[in-house]
Amino acid sequence: MTYQPAEDRYDSMPYRRVGRSGLQLPAVSLGLWHNFGDDKPFEMQKATLRRAFDLGVTHFDLANNYGPPYGSAETNFGRHFADDFKPFRDELIISSKAGYDMWPGPYGNFGSRKYLLASLDQSLNRMGLDYVDIFYSHRPDPETPLEETMGALDTAVRSGRALYAGISSYSPEKTIEAARILREMGTPLLIHQPSYSMLNRWVENGEPNLLQVLDDEGVGSIAFSPLAQGMLTNKYLNGVPSDSRAAAQKSLSKDLLSDENMRRVRGLNEIAESRGQTLAQMAIAWVLRKQNKGSSITSALVGASSERQLEDSLAAVKNLDFSDDELRSMDEFAVESDINLWAAALRS
C-alpha cells in the first residue's frame, strides 16, 4: 500500500532552532547506526521509519559505514526513501558522515579531502539522493590539516551535495578552530554531534566547555547515545539479557555494567518512576533540559529496534521539565562513569 503519513504528524513534536541558523530539528531525531543494516528485517525497518515520521521525527541520521555490512544502512534507507518518503523530501532532514573506516587502503578513513568527498558521492548514490541536508566530519583527524577537512565540507556545501556542514566528537578547542575556518570560507558550521548522557558528561567539562563554545559560536548540537548504548533503559536492571548489545559485545561491553554503574542506573530509574517516566524517557529529557551555563542540546539522537521502543523514546517530549530538587537528586547518580567509547577522538 502507498504510504500516507499521519496528518497530525507535526502536532506533538517540539522543534528547536539549530544555533543561530534558520534550520529547526525535532527535539528527538532517529539515528540509523543500528537496526538498519542487512542483519535486520526490512519490513521492521520500514515500520519504524514510517512510525517515526508519523510522530513528527523529520530528521534521519546516517553515516557511510552504518550497517552491517558497511554502507547497508544507507542502501536500505535509500530503498525506504524511494518507496515511502520521496514525495516528502522537502519535509525531511537527512544527514550522513564520513571519518571512520569505510574501504581498504589509505583513502578510506579519517579526514582527507579525497576520502570525505568520495564518501559523500558514494552515500548519495546509495541513498538515491541529490543532496544530504547535513554532511559531517565524523571525527577529527590528527594527521590531516584541519583546513583540508573543513575545506572538503565547504566544497560539499558549495557544490550542492550538502546544505549544511557539521562535525562530530571534536574537542572544544578543535571546535573553535573548525568554526573559524568554515566561517572564513563562508560556510558556517551548523552543528556538532557529541556523545552525551547522564553517565557521559564530558561536554560539560573544561573551561570553556563544549556547550559554552557552541553557544558562543552560534552552533547547534545533537547528542548521540543519550541512553548510553542502552545502559539507561530498563534492559539491564536485572542482569544482561541474551539478546542485548552487552551480550553480543556490540558497542556495549559487559565491563561497563559494573556494580557501581548499575547502582547509578538503578538510582536514576527510581527517580524516573517518581516522575512517571521510563528511565529511557527521563534520560532523553535530561539531555534536552535547559542548562544555566552554555547552550542547551538542540536534539537527542536515538535508535530504535521496533515501533514500541521508538514510541517509548519519543514520549520523553511530554515532560522535559525538571525541578531543581530533581536535578540535585539526579546528580548523585548522573556522574561521569568512564563509558565514553569516543574519548580517543577528542584527544586527536
DSSP characters for 27-75? SEEEE-SSS-STTS-HHHHHHHHHHHHHTT--EEE--TT-TTTTTHHHH
How much is the pLDDT for 58?
A: 98
Reported as a pLDDT band with limits 50, 70 and 90, residue 165 is very high
Residues 220-248 pLDDT 10s? 999 999 999 999 999 888 766 655 555 45
Mean pLDDT of 157-177: 98
Q: Give the type of residue at 73.
A: A
State how far the Cα of 59 lies from the Cα of 45, in Å rounded to an integer.
Answer: 15
Mean pLDDT of 281-285: 98
Q: If you average pLDDT over every residue of the chain, what do you get?
A: 94
Contact 268, 330 (CB under 8 A): yes
As separate numbers, helices (DSSP H) first and strands (DSSP E) second, the chain gives 12, 10
With a CB cutoff of 8 Å and minimum separation 6, the contacts of 46 are 80, 83, 84
Q: Give the type of residue at 342.
A: W
C-alpha cell of residue 120: 559523500
With a CB cutoff of 8 Å and minimum separation 6, the contacts of 185 are 150, 151, 154
Reported as a pLDDT band with limits 50, 70 and 90, residue 296 is confident
CA separation (Å) from 278 to 255, 268, 273? 24, 10, 6
Residues 196-226 pLDDT 10s? 999 999 999 999 999 999 999 999 999 999 9
How much is the pLDDT for 247?
A: 47
pTM, 2 dp? 0.94
Dihedral sign, Cα of residue 127, residue 131, residue 132, residue 138: positive
Q: How many CA atoms lie within 13 A of 130 on its CB side?
A: 4
> In 10 A of CB 334, how many CB atoms?
22
**Phi, psi dihedrals of residue 152, rounded to the nearest 5°:** -65, -40
Contact 166, 95 (CB under 8 A): yes
Give the whole-number percent of the chain exceeding pLDDT 90. 89
**Phi, psi dihedrals of residue 334, rounded to the nearest 5°:** -85, 80
Which carries the bigger pLDDT value, residue 15 or residue 246?
A: 15
